[in-house]
Structure 1
């Protein structure tokens, strides 16, 4: 094969274990495992001789395949299984040749191999989701009472707590984990249906052989062909894209709260970490940026998943090939985003003093709703809203604190009834929120 391009983003921030699962060797291994299981099942069903099956199983190893030859011949054939079968057949004694791949079609082997490989992909992604979620759970628990300005439309809105903010991410990850489990079950399905999906070439033992192959490979069995029904594949890829999007939402939060003017959190510190080649003061949020970059890429790639589902008749004509490129990339990006987001969460520096300082910015207007709600029983909601709105305009014009301006605008008795409100007194029920998210997260699939 020609030299492979270096993918810098995944090369720097990808997950090594996922890279191994998606490697050339594991791809070839998945195919020979299917061929070995097929031979075993056919021997048990009396389709081929037991000694022939034993010979095929003995030969069916990745070490028996010359990858250089395999890919050279694949370039000519268009698909890798015919060249693979020829190499396996050549490794057999003469008396056992001609029985490898008996009754199967190329896509049977490749789709069953895909099921094997992506069952392992899903298992690794589940581990990574667990690691990231556990790190977020730690943040939610540690900062459940740490008051921070909640922001809507990028502007301060009402007080909340950093723990409650993290609870939202934890709940999202719990849903991501459930989606991944469903997608894993769907994609880990054997495919042995022959050239046109009829299983005719497998003979009368087709169902028995298919179900035994599924059992041997620890995959789900189905009696409905899915050569062109690619919703399983599209669903799995979409889940990968969703995982990266969850990671990116967290990473974007870190980037935004790290801004010099906000400075409420920061990625882990380190010598020259996030350094600039020209600005000595810089400590850029490099891991969060990498997560966002991987998510942007995954989101763009995911659009191909719906084109894959357009495959027509009983065999695709180009749509299938798109999977070969897109699905492994989505899996690699999801793994990299999850691993890197976990590193960000575990190393995150949280600055309570900055959070408290920012609550007093903009004349303390983050408490405007709190004052309105406090005044509403006495003045009525609309009157209270109008009065606090006018006070906010005056605060921005003069720089005075909201509590000071309001005290001079309220009718007799109203100011005393409300008093001076603190952000700590207007955060709702953060412990309820965090406890609910932790409860969701602890329900393992």
Structure 2
């Protein structure tokens, strides 16, 4: 219902309170959304003859922010349990006798609050997608810039085979493209009108209920539906899932930055300015603070996600407690997702990459990262299994003696009488990156071909 970012919430919230999301779910914007719904309801009822056009016009004129005393509204809400009772009374106070009795006509509290929430969740997803556009564009630029920067690919935290930094970024970029598709799907799910009355049958709206609901949806830019969703909260769970998994995708990027910026690796770092990531006691420290915050946010969002499936338990025709949980978890998870995107944009746009350190790290462990490559190179001449055994024996010797794999391989091959099968030039890291360039080009092309939510929404509105 209302974001709690102005309350003493947590230290994390001081870092993770994305300004746009907090504004979308702020007390003022919440009230504005509710007023928009009440005004649209009056207009639709006036057009359908449920109330007079004059009354509808008067009500619309009274549904403005300056007519609402916030302190009085929230005091009433704490007493009643919901803000709509007090909201309607305050609107009515600014109307003469007659139209004052037509405010909120035939509607129920949750009709107004759910429709207002639909407006807020829609705006939230649109804002997240706008941030995602900026992040994806930055990662696409970095992927292209480093598409030929050869580095160690790592599996199980150990060097495995060569790859490129561009290809590593491309994997994240393509995941963000899929997240964009999920955002668009969730946006379509949540932007739905709720106008079904006390028990979900809309009886109080009378014979024009369907027409009124459809017109309210049109006026608000929401989708119409003929099926109530007062206690069917899977729409909200979809919103929560998208926000939480988006944080998870960004945490994957953050974890890679944390690992690659380790002193012993030193290949990729967050942007730097004076005292960024500083320690109070160790002057040399430049901690990966954006990445750490993203990981913390993702952990919080993941835990919060479980509450979204819990609210789906709401029974009968109205929840008894589950609904109230939404008032905290919906704005919180939206703000967390927005904050994770804030930090990811900082990383993507300002990352520092040491390509020379990447080359140097390829030579660690005596170049054993080329074991698979050299095995494949020899497989044409002696078969894969024989080549595997030969390179395995050479790898053991190189590690034991602290020598280079290539030298150990020639020694072992000569001892086994297979020296003549070795080529003059063993494959080098830059020759063994497979489809890396194609992966980068494909990921960038797919990202550039994805449709921003704002453009998709505008197109749908024109239809």
**Rounded Cα–Cα distance in structure 2 between residues aligned with 1:305 and 1:14:** 20
User: Corresponding residue for 2:461?
Assistant: none
User: Corresponding residue for 2:352?
Assistant: 349
User: Corresponding residue for 1:359?
Assistant: 362
Task: Give the alignment of 1:155-170 within 5 angstroms.
Answer: 155-170=158-173
After superposition, the C-alpha distances for 1:384-430 in whole angstroms (9 at most, x for unaligned) are: 1111111111111111000000011121322226x222100100021
**Rounded Cα–Cα distance in structure 1 between residues aligned with 2:380 and 2:442:** 31
- Tell me by how many angstroms 1:13 deviates: 4.1
TM-score scaled by length of structure 2: 0.94
**Rounded Cα–Cα distance in structure 2 between residues aligned with 1:301 and 1:197:** 29
User: Corresponding residue for 2:342?
Assistant: 339
Choose the corresponding residue for 2:176, options 173, 177, 181: 173
Task: Give the alignment of 1:155-304 within 5 angstroms.
Answer: 155-304=158-307
Task: Give the alignment of 1:28-43 within 5 angstroms.
Answer: 28-43=31-46
After superposition, the C-alpha distances for 1:303-344 in whole angstroms (9 at most, x for unaligned) are: 111111111111111111111110110100000101110111
- Tell me by how many angstroms 1:185 deviates: 0.9
Secondary structure of the 2:423 match is: helix
Is the deviation greater in 379-388 or in 100-109?
379-388
Aligned residues: 444
Contact 2:16 2:297 in 1 (8 A): no
User: Corresponding residue for 2:308?
Assistant: 305
Contact 2:377 2:427 in 1 (8 A): no
Is 1:390 aligned to 2:390, yes or no? no
- Tell me by how many angstroms 1:20 deviates: 1.2
Is 1:372 aligned to 2:375, yes or no? yes
**Rounded Cα–Cα distance in structure 2 between residues aligned with 1:195 and 1:336:** 37
Secondary structure of the 1:94 match is: coil
The runs of 5 or more residues in structure 2 that have no matched partner are 452-463
Choose the corresponding residue for 2:68, options 65, 68, 73: 65
Is 1:112 aligned to 2:123, yes or no? no
Is 1:438 aligned to 2:441, yes or no? no
User: Corresponding residue for 1:414?
Assistant: 421
- Tell me by how many angstroms 1:161 deviates: 0.2
- Tell me by how many angstroms 1:372 deviates: 0.9
Is the deviation greater in 2-11 or in 299-308?
2-11
Secondary structure of the 1:413 match is: helix
Choose the corresponding residue for 2:153, options 147, 150, 155: 150
User: Corresponding residue for 1:77?
Assistant: 80
Is 1:18 aligned to 2:18, yes or no? no
**Rounded Cα–Cα distance in structure 2 between residues aligned with 1:413 and 1:153:** 35
**Rounded Cα–Cα distance in structure 1 between residues aligned with 2:9 and 2:237:** 26
Is 1:137 aligned to 2:140, yes or no? yes
Aligned Cα root-mean-square deviation (Å): 1.3
After superposition, the C-alpha distances for 1:357-403 in whole angstroms (9 at most, x for unaligned) are: 00000111100000111111222211211111111111111110000
Contact 1:118 1:187 in 2 (8 A): yes
Is the deviation greater in 323-332 or in 372-381?
372-381
Secondary structure of the 1:416 match is: coil
Secondary structure of the 1:150 match is: strand
Contact 1:13 1:340 in 2 (8 A): no
Is the deviation greater in 205-214 or in 20-29?
20-29
Contact 2:398 2:405 in 1 (8 A): yes
Contact 2:174 2:447 in 1 (8 A): yes
Is 1:424 aligned to 2:427, yes or no? no
**Rounded Cα–Cα distance in structure 1 between residues aligned with 2:434 and 2:153:** 12
**Rounded Cα–Cα distance in structure 1 between residues aligned with 2:437 and 2:368:** 24
Distance 1:81 1:131, change over 3 A: same
Is the deviation greater in 374-383 or in 267-276?
374-383
Contact 2:170 2:440 in 1 (8 A): yes
- Tell me by how many angstroms 1:280 deviates: 0.6
Detail structure 1 runs of 4+ shifted over 6 Å in the superposition.
none
Is the deviation greater in 13-22 or in 115-124?
13-22
Secondary structure of the 1:97 match is: helix
